[in-house]
Amino acid sequence: MSGKLYGASLGPGDPELITRRSWALLHSNAHWMYPVKKKNGESYALRIALETGLSLPKNSKALVFPMTHNREILIKYWLQAAQTVIEVLQQGHDVVFLVEGDASTFSTFQHLAKTVQGLDKSIEIETIAGVTSFNAAAACAKIPLADTDDTVAIIPAGYGIEMIASLLDDFDTLVLLKVKPILDDLIVFLKNKNLLEKSCFIEKAGSSEERIIHNVASLKGQKVNYLSLLMIQNPHRIRGEMIRGCKKK
């Protein structure tokens, strides 16, 4: 029988946010596999696991997932990673793939899982839910993501200022992930919209290197980490009327 592939969500950085389910898998006989951006590169997901005090198992293996938007290159590496995983699974061993944050949310694991199943539909795959970076960021910054009837949107900042502006008309809270490339443009935009005071920058939420900046304007011209996000609350949004209760037939 083939082994089972698990996507083990480890949370955004604080080892204490690892769920009991993922914790149990880390202590099982499953082979660890973890993502790196390049060969011999560091893995943030692995770092979270090791900060629990666990040692790297001998049967662990790094899988390369390069930082590129070139789909042909990505497919090549997804295929290589999937073949490596399948080889271990077909030997009857379970594989636990380490994931920072939540394995269902903007995660490399979903690409890996789809490629594995595309090559062998008989392989069983399980995704373990985890704490996302934006949930941890909201808690650490003491900013509620949503209150009562509030609406929330979570998008990569790379969609650009124009889309961000349109979303602010429809959502009370906007969470922008991966803000590093356009942070300066965002600061100018938020200043023009009088929303700088309603914004908060969080870097490496929940980790020992966490950084929370309420004075977002102070970051203009500075380099920030890739693992950063911006939370924006829009008190000026005009809401429509809500339909409450269930309609009777």
CATH number of the domain residue 161 falls in: 3.30.950.10
DSSP string of 182-217, one letter each residue? GHHHHHHHHHHTT-GGGEEEEESTTSTT-EEES-GG
Chosen domain end from 97, 113, 128: 128
Assigned domain for 190 exists: yes
In this prediction, what percent of the chain has a pLDDT beyond 90?
86
Mean pLDDT for 147-171 is 92
Assigned domain for 95 exists: yes
Encode pLDDT of 203-244 as tens digits.
999 898 999 999 999 999 999 998 999 999 988 776 766 666
Chosen domain end from 79, 108, 128: 128
Assigned domain for 11 exists: yes
Both 202 and 178 in one domain: the answer is yes
Both 124 and 137 in one domain: the answer is no
Both 59 and 153 in one domain: the answer is no
Both 194 and 137 in one domain: the answer is yes
User: Looking at residue 16, what is its pLDDT?
Assistant: 95
Assigned domain for 243 exists: no
Q: Domain residues for 42? A: 5-128
Both 120 and 139 in one domain: the answer is no
Both 145 and 182 in one domain: the answer is yes
Both 158 and 208 in one domain: the answer is yes
| SS3 label, residue 32 | strand
CATH code at 31? Answer: 3.40.1010.10
Assigned domain for 245 exists: no
For residue 200, the Cα-to-chain-centroid distance in whole angstroms is 18
What is the C-alpha to C-alpha distance for residues 204 and 17, in angstroms, rounded to an integer? 14
Number of separate domains in the chain: 2
For residue 1, the Cα-to-chain-centroid distance in whole angstroms is 32
Both 18 and 123 in one domain: the answer is yes
Q: Are 40 and 143 in contact (CB under 8 A)?
A: no
pLDDT reading at 69 higher than 90:
no
Both 101 and 206 in one domain: the answer is no
User: Looking at residue 149, what is its pLDDT?
Assistant: 83
What is the C-alpha to C-alpha distance for residues 143 and 140, in angstroms, rounded to an integer? 8
Assigned domain for 244 exists: no
User: Looking at residue 67, what is its pLDDT?
Assistant: 87
Both 106 and 140 in one domain: the answer is no
Encode pLDDT of 81-91 as tens digits.
999 999 999 99
Assigned domain for 249 exists: no
Both 124 and 210 in one domain: the answer is no
Both 145 and 90 in one domain: the answer is no
Chosen domain end from 102, 128, 154: 128
Mean pLDDT for 159-173 is 93
- To the question of pTM greater than 0.85 for the whole model, the response is yes
B/e letters for 193-202, b = 16+ CB within 10 Å, e = fewer, are: bebbebbbbb
User: Looking at residue 240, what is its pLDDT?
Assistant: 65
pLDDT reading at 248 higher than 90:
no
What is the C-alpha to C-alpha distance for residues 33 and 60, in angstroms, rounded to an integer? 6
Encode pLDDT of 108-152 as tens digits.
999 999 999 999 999 999 999 999 999 999 999 999 998 888 899
Assigned domain for 248 exists: no
Encode pLDDT of 8-65 as tens digits.
999 999 999 999 999 999 999 999 999 999 999 999 999 999 999 999 999 999 999 9
